[in-house]
Structure 1
């Protein structure tokens, strides 16, 4: 066993930095028509490549040795041409501007001479995150769009005054939009409300585009209660008590009562619509060319209803344009809406047909004009919407029959649902980076056992221009590492494919019997089994080296499959996909006789910690040992936004019935609990409440609290104890005696 520990450490060292040319991060030049990227080669050698897509040309960006010599002459330092660390670079026909160690230089690539530059001439293209918040928040601009009025809050009440007159103390900002031509007729500030207070102020103001109205809210703020923890090893002789606000399931939200403040009037008009009692004040979407109407989005608490509501500012009335309801849940953070004001349309995502797809909605009537995408596959993410060409660019998975349904591919399609173009047809899991003008893109794709390939494509038709790089993993496999295996088996319904991966020891012997350890995380917010090339010495592989088969599985209840697949989690987090996971491991054992299903353990962190302990509590006949780190063991104790999304609202008996605390007395098998004492994600008390219940039930278990550590698997020491725990309880061998110097 000692030799196995030493071998695992040696393999970690031997496999470090053994995969080369594994990806391309293009740095597009200021003209947007060319880019450079950097390759990391053996012994940390760096190689810079310059690509001109229009010319189908790829070459070394410069003579690395000559450039190092030229830079050395101007810096007075000896630079290694094989390891130049260039952070930014702009290439010309015969020159280059570059930045190294925060210093800028301009170099002639004909004569290879360099001079210090005051600044870098190029520009960086920002990486956009297309997802927009549906909540306005409180960061606003006080001036009206036509620059003639100022709206502000004083002593909790709303005032409007002509712009240019004296400002008042206590003014807060308001949102600005497009200009118009209203004019100020006097210089006095008009007070619109009188019942605002410090405790219940008005706020979150927003101007209409024509500067005729301000929309705002009478706010009833809620201050979240705190959770507490103690830093036992802080400086001094006393522990330090710490706290932070933390909203738990069932806790109240700040509420917003919508009002309209017409310019030229003397009072507020309450909008005939529901008080907003979940999330923040919504972002407003004004109808193009007609500022009489705006819409906002509302998610009801409990995550079972989503609406787009229209408000008529002249009558202060509202009506529902779009209303989606479910018997289970609507995944709020994956609701996508894009407003097309020029055509009064809305692009909207929904799982109403059983799969997440896009729909084009009439922004006036709220009726669906047409599905944009459809079929037994999932839209994973929106990259952009081209309003002029009326196209949406998106990522999806599950469209390729016979392929892992989690592999992400990139597409574009017309808003009429026609003209689907696949940009990444090659088999594998894809990551695409577009040029700033989207004329070209780089596509890097791989599988868990197949190293990455990066190609350059033309966006117009998806045509491949050239292969840029093919990863070299020969040195990685030369160490004796075995490829990770992707394995699929049927789930609890006998029909649905369940996907996972398998890690084996590098000295694997099929004649032996191996215990199984599952790395579990069943959080419904995503899927978690790796899909890209696993060409590094992972935590799973490190444990496998000690004599285990280590697996990871996405069971039912996780995301990125059908709505029915996902719905298994609804008010049912204790399920954690265990019926599918157990069948998967048994199917693996049926194929490979060296799998020992009499010795199965599992480990996880956070929701995975909850799942790990849940395996012992709810499936003790299968799982024999578990390491649970920082677990959210009781969904009433964990964060509101995550738990209510899956467990629902109001908080019912099912919360208690599925709690690891409530069920702690059912414990069989071997358990190690780990918690960081300064965990601000999941309150440490979640683990301590389990411990309290275990003690009352007179159960045996191991416990590792880590002073000063936050939300973690226990860090390096926690991982040591996890390995030792499974070695003892699944292999039946005493772990190394570190105090005796055995390791």
Structure 2
């Protein structure tokens, strides 16, 4: 599942199953008749019967990758100025542009002459390069802004702007940090913390004034005074799984890290960097410096008691290898513990700070608001229903409560705390009214006023002007007549007055505020409206100039058509849901088409694309002769009300299916070309779980006829503890009452009910006097409990090295289906993690399309092992 509240782009990444042009069946091969055993639908019913592989092959991932050009500018600012550059690719090639804004429009020009660059790069490297397709997309400006550097084939080059000349810097020293004269921390234009920017190779975490840095080695922490050149070991008790940082070069760690990253063998530069990392045992620790560079804070994770989980890499040479790692599961007693440690310059060692209140609490958002004398942080209880924001005096160890937030029947998800100015009021995000809003609190606590109000969702702070006390916020659902997930940016005064929309227009807006706040770089689009990038006035929102517009020319030559947005009612007949429909390009309204739903249950994101996207896997699937649908559901998105977002709290299996079924039925009532007798469903991760549930749970197992379930978390009792408890809820019960319930024959959190259902133990409140006398009970319903209900055709797919959603979930469901004497299909991708890569991604997309073509179209052509 795409867990830990990842954004939708990570779900789309897992779904982007590549379909190359080689090995794809050709049109003439598909004209053969299906064998008698195939399910064939009468032509007299005007139903689509034959998969259109010619059309589907036209829109394979490999074919589209080269002609799907840049969609949005990504402004990269020069220092703290408003001047920015960006990389843009269209049918004329790839180029870097420099833009200097002004109130009257500003100036846009090429950052460098690509012909001169290609010529000199060819001379220096002795390899031919084309001016329209230069071999780099990332550059780093020098701090003096007189030139920039980039890497090609592990060799570093430097371009001087004034003379338009290129020189080779050779290969960088292995393990060396980035040069100090490069402007790396500002390339993304975002706000950053104190100290130098983090890079993979830089082990130094610098203080804001660069007078000192810390690094980790062999589980312990070291402090370096730059002026003195002294290195002091400031911790001595570091051990494995209770560490301040450690680079483990064993094969087990290397493979797990590669799986977590989702990619391997990304080229010589990555391999060289990996080698450098393995040679230098120093690494960059995640510490927070105080603004005055006098103190360092660190959240230390203790996993020594956490149980291990295992995978076997059967492809390892010369023999299969066991992969072992720490993994917490819901309801377990021994979970990761978080502790606060601090170091104050001049002291001999780092020290722990006692901020414990709840058993198994989590520490978040550690920061120094003014100086190194006091540190602030958020602590959250294990059920994630209570939060405290506290301040600790490091000299005395005394802590002060600044505010607390509590919720019932849902879970809290705090956002980073921001200050209107140093030592001034702070902004706190809460859903206490049922809608996500920011509130203004005095520096020492105490609510002053709401910063934002209304029945819409404010989801982030883009920028704060500490001088004018103005805040730029982003949110959804405020503008009438728009799809509720379209994002806009607003400016509001620090006292909650003067809220101003800065990017009007019925579209989804991705806006970046420039460093001086004078300008906003806005790219806006909808699923049915291609992206346009403009520059706006940062105070009024007035459009100053258009920078770029996505080039669709080559897509249009293929006959590309955008998906059609729609809205329907949820199963309650009231709540509005949004979705998109893909049709075949050769769509014939007189025919009847099977419909396939792509699903993902959330709740960290909803499987609905808001801005423009080609969505190649869904587009290609439709070309076979399907209507492909993605649509939201209650409980799916955090971008709406709390009631909407947490509709499914405690039941992640069933709540989305009613809305999916109702939405498809409403579309069929509107459009006669949708055939409700042939409905398919598929999804990855959480979508794989929901797909299997649709095929197993009445009455949905009668409605959905075919399901393709990828890497599903079919049993959340063996999934990630934090995510599972956050979404299913966990009961806090006293150990005494839990034991009494067991003696009485009741089981806390019995199988088949919501979290804690069937328990005779009473739930107790956690407080500072009770954190040792409780336990956490949870039992989550599983898909394998429903195996006997399977109808239709179900395919289960998993990678055997999935260290996110363990393949045990899929295997347990397969075991239950076998025991229930049910027929199903089963795919295991050897050596693959949660997201399928390379040939397995291509293979999976092909198998998915064949599966639906066979079982929904009756287009059965597999006569031997060869994929044609």
> What TM-score comes out, normalization by structure 2 length?
0.70
Higher relative contact order (CA closer than 8 Å, sequence separation 6+): 2
Distance 1:167 1:400, change over 3 A: closer
Tell whether 2:654 aligns with 1:566.
no
**Deviation sequence 1:695-729 (CA, Å, 0-9, x none):** 11111111111111111366222222222221222
Tell whether 2:357 aligns with 1:274.
yes
Tell whether 2:103 aligns with 1:25.
no
C-alpha separation between the residues in 1 aligned to 2:67 and 2:240?
61
Tell whether 2:118 aligns with 1:40.
no
* 1:278 CA drift (Å): 2.1
* 1:630 CA drift (Å): 0.9
| Structure-2 residue corresponding to 1:103 | 157
Tell whether 2:849 aligns with 1:723.
yes
C-alpha separation between the residues in 2 aligned to 1:583 and 1:410?
33
* 1:312 CA drift (Å): 6.2
Correspondences of 1:28-427 after superposition (within 5 Å): 28-29=77-78, 32-42=81-91, 45-54=93-102, 56-61=105-110, 64=113, 67=116, 71=120, 75=124, 80-84=130-134, 87=137, 88=139, 101=152, 102-106=156-160, 114-117=164-167, 123-124=183-184, 125-127=186-188, 171-172=234-235, 222-236=304-318, 238-251=319-332, 252-255=334-337, 274=357, 277-280=360-363, 283=366, 285=368, 291=373, 295-311=376-392, 318=399, 320-332=401-413, 334-339=414-419, 342-364=422-444, 366-427=445-506
C-alpha separation between the residues in 2 aligned to 1:509 and 1:58?
48
Q: 2:711 aligns with which of 630, 645, 658?
A: 630
Which structure has the greater CA radius of gyration? 1
* 1:483 CA drift (Å): 1.8
**Deviation sequence 1:383-426 (CA, Å, 0-9, x none):** 23333322222211111111011011112212211122322112
Asked whether the 8 Å contact 1:131–1:336 carries over to 2, the reply is: no
* 1:202 CA drift (Å): 12
C-alpha separation between the residues in 1 aligned to 2:708 and 2:352?
58
* 1:570 CA drift (Å): 0.5
Asked whether the 8 Å contact 1:349–1:358 carries over to 2, the reply is: yes
C-alpha separation between the residues in 2 aligned to 1:63 and 1:284?
41
Distance 1:51 1:416, change over 3 A: same
C-alpha separation between the residues in 1 aligned to 2:66 and 2:206?
54
Distance 1:70 1:208, change over 3 A: closer
C-alpha separation between the residues in 2 aligned to 1:114 and 1:258?
51
Q: 2:628 aligns with which of 540, 550, 561?
A: 550
C-alpha separation between the residues in 1 aligned to 2:483 and 2:376?
40
> What TM-score comes out, normalization by structure 1 length?
0.81
C-alpha separation between the residues in 1 aligned to 2:661 and 2:526?
24
Asked whether the 8 Å contact 2:329–2:720 carries over to 1, the reply is: yes
Asked whether the 8 Å contact 1:378–1:396 carries over to 2, the reply is: yes
Question: Aligned to 2:702, what secondary structure does the other structure show?
Answer: coil
C-alpha separation between the residues in 2 aligned to 1:737 and 1:232?
30
Tell whether 2:536 aligns with 1:457.
yes
Consecutive unaligned residues of structure 2, counting only runs of 5 or more, are 1-26, 32-51, 170-178, 195-202, 221-227, 245-285, 732-747, 756-778
Asked whether the 8 Å contact 1:617–1:666 carries over to 2, the reply is: yes
C-alpha separation between the residues in 1 aligned to 2:367 and 2:148?
44
**Deviation sequence 1:636-690 (CA, Å, 0-9, x none):** 1111121111011248332556211222222222110011111111111111111
| 419-428 or 204-213, which deviates more | 204-213
Asked whether the 8 Å contact 1:21–1:469 carries over to 2, the reply is: no
**Deviation sequence 1:618-644 (CA, Å, 0-9, x none):** 221211111111111111111112111
C-alpha separation between the residues in 2 aligned to 1:384 and 1:283?
20
* 1:491 CA drift (Å): 1.0
Question: Aligned to 2:561, what secondary structure does the other structure show?
Answer: coil
Q: 1:733 aligns with which of 859, 862, 865?
A: 859
Consecutive unaligned residues of structure 1, counting only runs of 5 or more, are 134-138, 157-163, 174-195
When the two structures are aligned, how many residues end up with a matched partner?
Answer: 694
| Structure-2 residue corresponding to 1:652 | 749
Distance 1:456 1:319, change over 3 A: closer
C-alpha separation between the residues in 2 aligned to 1:210 and 1:66?
48
Q: 2:588 aligns with which of 509, 523, 548?
A: 509
